[in-house]
Amino acid sequence: MTRLPALALTLALVPAAFASSGCKPKAVRGGPGTENPNLDQGAMSTTLDRRDLQELMRMNMDKLMSSPWWAQMTQTPGQVVAIWPFKNETSEHIDDQLNTLLADMETELVNGGTVAVVSRERQAEMANEVAVQQNRSIYDPNFANQISRQLGAKYYITGKVGSVDEFFNNERRVQYTLFVQVIEVETSLVRFQNKAERSKAIVR
């Protein structure tokens, strides 16, 4: 019977032994200005992560702002632009990441000073109210056009994220696309569109 207290004491000392041997997990900080500036560089899986979405959006924004249409449009001061929700056509739960990405786009356009930008918060409030009243989908182009017009926008930016899975010899590769369009509210004409692509795979 005297062996039970000894066993209990041994089990109690196991966590302390692991802690003293350096096996305790350690939290680290990454990103610019830290001791781990490249922490976010490596891919942890084939799913879309924050860096993928940021770079896909960066490619699209660079194309937009270097396009002849953008140069011509921004010559006229006071142009009002709305940013509409992007549709997630992948099987991944990235709605929060997309909302963050669109907030970053809003910030860039506002700080750029070449266009006026409708508050996404105000737009969301109005869209949700009308969607409930009219039983409309926020991804309906006619609905986006209607709300953008009511908010005084001349153009609205919309888009979608898609993915295609490929399997070969038990290996998986996923091709992601971020498609962006700028629609003129009055005419429904597409004034700009671009598709940025990225592939991710598990390499053995």
DSSP string, 150-187: HTT-SEEEEEEEEEEEEEETTEEEEEEEEEEEEEETTT
* Segments of the chain scoring below 50 in pLDDT: 1-2, 4, 7-11, 14, 17-18, 30-31, 39-40, 42-44
Give the pLDDT of residue 30: 44
Give the pLDDT of residue 58: 95
pTM: predicted TM-score of the whole model, two decimal places? 0.75
Exposure letters 106-116 (e unless 16+ CB within 10 A, then b): beebeeeeebb
CA dist 183 and 82 (Å) reads 10
Q: How many CB atoms sit inside 10 A of residue 102's CB? A: 18
